[in-house]
Amino acid sequence: MSSSASSGVTPTEQAASPPPGAAPSEGHARTLRARRRREWSLAYLLLVPALLLFGVFSFYPFFRNFKLMLYETPPVPGVPAHYVGLHQIIPTVTSTQFTQSLVTTIVFVILVVPFSLLAGLALAVAAHRKLKGMAVYRMIFSSTVVSSVAVASVVFGTLLNPVVGLLPWLGISPSPPALESTTWALPSVAVITIWQFLGLSFIIMSAGLQSVPDELLEAARIDGAGAWTRFWRMTVPLLSPTIFFGVVVSTIYAFQAFGAVDILIGPQNTVRLHTNVLIYNIVNTLQISNNAGAAAIMATVLFLILLGLTILQLRFLERRVSYARG
Amino acid sequence: MAQVSFDAVTKRFGETTAVDGLTLKVADGELLVLLGSSGCGKTTALRLVAGLEEVTEGTVSIGDRVVNDVDPKDRDVAMVFQSYALYPHLTVGKNIEFPLRQRGVDKEERSTKVAKAAETLGLTELLGRKPAQLSGGQRQRVAVARAIVREPTVFLMDEPLSNLDAALRVQTRADIVELQARLRTTTLYVTHDQVEAMTMGHRIAVMSDGKLQQVAAPEDLYARPANAFVAHFLGSPGMNLVEGMLVESGSPGTLCVAFPGASVPLPPEVADAVRGSGPDVVLGFRPEALHLSPDGSIAATVVIVELLGAETHVICHTETGARIIVRQLASATKPSLGEGVRIAVDPDPCAYHLFDSGTGDRLGPSA
């Protein structure tokens, strides 16, 4: 909204400015200035709702978080937090709970990213042909985008249920059950996240495939390349900007996993089952340990990780745009 | 080296017939141009030879082999696409090398052949560049180099010059003709540009609505078009076509084509050839076979005078509104707009073209 409002003003303003070389009279310049002022006021007026929303829900909490980092909350309820400056940062970041949580998150990301992208690419390749009824498949493949974490978690939780689920029906009855096993709990949560991200992954890959000109693949076909070679030597290199985009987006997505862990594992078991991913750890630190300062520090670390990834992505995409069009 | 044959080839896309019963032979070593306006099926015909489309009916052969079910990579053809279809992530050298690599040519031979193809097309300096760093003309040459490098039996070219500017197009046209003459590779060349067709083709096949209209050497196609479509399509501007009646008039044995405001006597050779046809005919003259003269046989009114430098096009309407274009030298007296003029036809029998008004087919001897 903010960008549309400001860009709506700029062209009008340019159109109103006199052509180069023309010397506007004093009166003319004054009316121009007045008009420009009116347009800017209108622009800010239109920006107010967006600024309010962002202010209340994004900007204020964001800056408040930095303040919280500087205060230590005593473990005893009722005692006010006191200012400690930067002193609690090092102990928090080096605490076993945090490092374990970070490792768990990275393992989780490594499980989610490649599988969700590969599966999305495979579906996109399968759906990238002109066949009747393909639109139905495209809709089905991309439908996970609109499913909610809660619904997906409940459905998968049922499928994995040791008594009424799909696994026992298939004759697979792991003991302990998947969601209670230290080995399989994290992969199980990852499967749900992969499934949820699959729709977006499919859409991203489909868009990428459509930008690969048919003629290139036809030329390669005439030049003697088989289907396998065409895929690996033409499609994949030409998709590399898309794949990179997908890697970054899915990494950011996986770093923010929370819902599935909360619903399927619950606060009592996360640490024991190695599913204590970063956001979950932050929430627990705040709500269960009532340690707002430590939670704020962890949130900042997560913020820096995601910021780094975003910058990397923007840099890379900028560099690849001309290449992709070459 | 091999000839390419279409034998009653039809290609349908659902309800649409793109190529309709095409029978055509491209001789060994020939450069045959497929000419037609967009959507006439010429590119589809080319893609059928490449194997990028499947034949619905009929057979396509390369040499003695029917290739209907042969994979594109096994047809030994090379294609230059309108967009050039260069691989953007590979350097010029790797682009040219790609077909050789796919065919398992060993490294040493590959580099020799790439160097040779690059030299032929003046690309040696550019081998390390990516396609995005090249000009349009350079990209086009890379596409040609990639096609010639593995010495295929057939070249397929799909409007390879249409993305070049006018001056470069003239130069590249000559380069391709020269290259083809040297390599003597059977070539099927698709274009919508009749100048390209006339200057490049050993023979030209004119297509319209998926059907082959005529295939002939450029000069024959221009001098003796097989039907009214070809007559009007070729030439800039195309042939003037006027509907009239074939009637006997004046001295016995003389045939005239009569239409409101005119009675055009036919030279005896032409009259003998078309006697008994008609009576409804379409009479055609090339604009250069006409001139303005007080004793001309066609009455008309000048509506537009176009100055083109070396020549002038005088566009006239007959009484019934039929359009006739007269090509004059710039030195000739220009008529003024709205002036009533008379148009005379050259006495040369070759200036007269008669077509059946129903089928549009040429009457009398054709090409």
Domain residues of chain A, as ranges? 2-68, 89-325
Given a cut of 70, the residues of chain A with pLDDT beneath it are 1-25, 318-326
Contact at CB, B78 and A222, closer than 8 angstroms: yes
CA A37-A41-A42 angle, to 5 degrees, is 120
- Let me know if B321 is exposed, middle or buried by CB neighbors in 10 A (0-12, 13-18, 19+): exposed
Q: For helices A96-127 and A278-287, what crossing angle results, to 10°?
A: 140
Encoded tokens for A127: 């759906």
At residue A6, the pLDDT reads: 42
Say what the pLDDT of residue B23 is. 95
> In the CATH hierarchy, which top-level class contains the domain B4-229?
alpha beta
Give the nearest partner residue to B102 out of A225, A322, A325, using CB atoms: A225
- The pTM score is 0.77
Task: Classify residue A163 by burial, with Cβ atoms within 10 Å: 0-12, 13-18, 19+.
Answer: exposed
pLDDT of res. B211: 93
pLDDT at B212 exceeding the cut of 50: yes
Q: Given an 8 Å threshold on Cβ–Cβ distance, is A216 in contact with B146?
A: no
- Chain A residues touching residue B79 (CB < 8 angstroms): 218-219, 222
SS3 sequence of chain B: CCCEEEEEEEEEECCEEEEEEEEEEECCCCEEEEECCCCCCHHHHHHHHHCCCCCCEEEEEECCEECCCCCHHHCCEEEECCCCCCCCCCCHHHHHHHHHHHCCCCHHHHHHHHHHHHHHCCCHHHCCCCHHHCCHHHHHHHHHHHHHCCCCCEEEEECCCCCCCHHHHHHHHHHHHHHHHHHCCEEEEEECCHHHHHHHCCEEEEEECCEEEEEECHHHHHHCCCEHHHHHHCCCCCCEEEEEEEEECCCCCCEEEEECCEEEECCHHHHHHHCCCCCEEEEEECHHHEEECCCCCEEEEEEEEEECCCEEEEEEEECCCCEEEEEEECCCCCCCCCCEEEEEECCCHHHCEEEECCCCEECCCCC
> What single-letter amino acid sits at B68?
N
3 state DSSP class of A68: helix
A173, A181 Cβ separation under 8 angstroms: no
Q: Residue A319: its pLDDT value, please?
A: 64
| Nearest-angstrom CA–CA distance, B228 and B283 | 9
Compute the distance between CA of residue A186 and CA of residue B175 in angstroms, rounded to an integer. 65
Q: How far apart are CA A196 and CA B347, in angstroms?
A: 83
> Are the Cβ atoms of A222 and B77 closer than 8 angstroms?
yes
pLDDT value for B218: 94
Are B85 and A221 an interchain contact pair (Cβ–Cβ within 8 Å)?
A: no
Q: What's the maximum distance between 2 C-alpha atoms anywhere in chain B?
A: 81
Yes or no, beta carbons of B73 and A234 under 8 Å apart: no
pLDDT value for A24: 54
Is the peptide bond prior to B237 cis by the omega test (within 30 degrees of 0)?
A: yes
Are residues A84 and A70 in contact, defined by beta-carbon separation less than 8 angstroms? yes
B162-184 burial: b if 16+ Cβ within 10 Å, else e: eebeeeebeebbebbbebbeebe
CATH number of the domain at A89-325, please? 1.10.3720.10
Domain-wise residue ranges, chain B: 4-229, 234-356
**CATH superfamily ID and name for B234-356:** Nucleic acid-binding proteins (2.40.50.140)
DSSP single-letter state for residue A79: S
At B131-174, the pLDDT tens digits run 999 999 999 999 999 999 989 999 999 999 988 888 888 999 99
Report the C-alpha gap between A196 and A149 in whole angstroms. 8
* Per-residue pLDDT reduced to its tens digit, B113-135: 999 999 999 999 999 999 999 99
CB contacts < 8 A, A to B, total 65
Contact between chains at B102 and A322 (C-beta distance less than 8 A) = no
Angle in degrees, CA A243, A245, A250, rounded to 5: 95
- Which DSSP string corresponds to A183-218? TTHHHHHHHHHHHHHHHHHHHHHHHHHHTS-HHHHH
Burial (CB < 10 A; 0-12, 13-18, 19+), residue B82, is middle
Partnered with residue B241 across adjacent β-strands are B284
Q: Which of B62, B48, B52, B60 is nearest to B18 (CA)?
A: B48
pLDDT for position B39: 87
> Which residue matches tokens 């605490």?
A95
- The reply to whether A236 touches chain B by the CB within 8 Å rule is no
**Angle value at C-alpha A319, between A315 and A320, nearest 5 degrees:** 115
Give residue for tokens 């050298």.
Answer: B93
Contact predicate A274/A103, CB 8 Å? no
Residue B100 has pLDDT above 50, yes or no: yes
ipTM surpasses 0.90? no
Which residue in the set B77, B102, B132 is minimally distant from A326, CB to CB? B132
At B207, the pLDDT band (50, 70, 90 cuts) reads: very high
Q: Name every residue in B having a CB less than 8 A away from some CB of A.
A: 50-52, 72-73, 75, 77-79, 81, 83, 85, 87-89, 98-99, 102-103, 130-133, 146
Opening angle at CA B169, ends B163 and B170, nearest 5: 165
Where does chain A have alpha helices with state H?
2-16, 26-54, 60-68, 89-94, 96-127, 134-142, 149-159, 166-169, 185-210, 214-222, 227-229, 236-255, 259-264, 278-287, 292-325
**Per-residue confidence (pLDDT) for residue A206, from 0 to 100:** 94
- β-partners of residue B4 are B26, B62
B145 CA to centre of own chain = 24
B8 burial (CB, 10 Å; 0-12 / 13-18 / 19+) is exposed
**DSSP structural state of residue A124:** H
Q: By CA distance, what is A223's nearest residue in B?
A: B99
Q: Show residues of chain B in contact with A236, CB under 8 Å.
A: none
How high is the mean pLDDT of chain B? 90
User: Does A325 contact chain B (CB < 8 Å)?
Assistant: yes
Cβ A293 vs Cβ A84: under 8 Å: yes
Q: Flag if B98 and A234 touch (Cβ within 8 Å).
A: no
Contact check, Cβ <8 Å, B99/A229: no
Amino acid, res. A277: V
What is the rounded CA–CA span in Å between residue B35 and residue B295? 39
By DSSP bridging, strand B186-191 and strand B154-158 are parallel
What's the pLDDT tens digit per position in B6-25?
999 999 998 999 999 999 99
- What pLDDT score does B138 carry? 93
**Dihedral sign, CA of B246, B248, B249, B252?**
positive
B1 falls in which pLDDT band (50, 70, 90)? low
Evaluate whether B292 touches B343 at the Cβ level (below 8 Å). Answer: yes
* Half-sphere exposure for B135 (CA within 13 Å, toward CB): 6
Q: What is the DSSP string of A214-228?
A: HHHHHHHHHTT--HH
Residue B274 pLDDT: 78
* CB–CB contact A220 B78 (8 Å): no
Q: Among residues B48, B90, B83, which one has the least CA distance to residue B69?
A: B48
